[in-house]
Amino acid sequence: MEQKNMENRIEKVREYVDNVLLNMTDTVERRCAYLHLYGVAQACAMIAQKRKENVELAIVAGMLHDIFSYKTMDHQDHAHKGAVMAKEILNELDIFDNSETDMICDAIYNHSDKAVKQTPFNEILIDADVLQHYLYNPFLTVSESEKMRLENLKTEFCL
């Protein structure tokens, strides 16, 4: 796939995400949403490049992984509900084939289960989520469920 098409697909998803976030009425939540979704997407890009996985699909998974939470302000079972919403969004955008959509949505579906080893692609989103939580403020306490992953990421990226 040529570079121009990849940029267009990422930008189309970004337009959709921006539209959701711009409609959030709580400005503090909106700021957190922007930082988190785009922070995770950027971390996905870095990790996918390092691990030689699909960077474009990883970025999209990062942008959409918590879209359900921010669109509905409902955080309960957000990974599973978010995978359903992401599939609807990707089908509506009609820019990814079924296997790409399935790959993105599977990563979103499983991203909250930090204790289980996933597929190499799914691991990117899980690790990017952990990394963004940490980088948001490295002086805050890291949750127990994320400690081991964070230490492994620090080793992998020589931090």
Q: Compute CA distances 51 → 4, 120, 121, whole Å.
A: 23, 8, 9
Domain with 148 in it: what CATH number? Answer: 1.10.3210.10
Instruction: Say if residue 140's pLDDT is above 80.
Output: yes
Instruction: Say if residue 1's pLDDT is above 50.
Output: no
Instruction: Say if residue 33's pLDDT is above 60.
Output: yes
Instruction: Say if residue 102's pLDDT is above 50.
Output: yes
The confidence band for 2, taking pLDDT boundaries of 50, 70 and 90, is: very low
- Predicted TM-score (pTM) of the model is 0.93
- Count: domains in the chain: 1
Residues spanned by the domain of 21: 3-156
C-alpha atoms less than 13 angstroms from C-alpha of 105 in its C-beta half-sphere: 19
The confidence band for 6, taking pLDDT boundaries of 50, 70 and 90, is: low
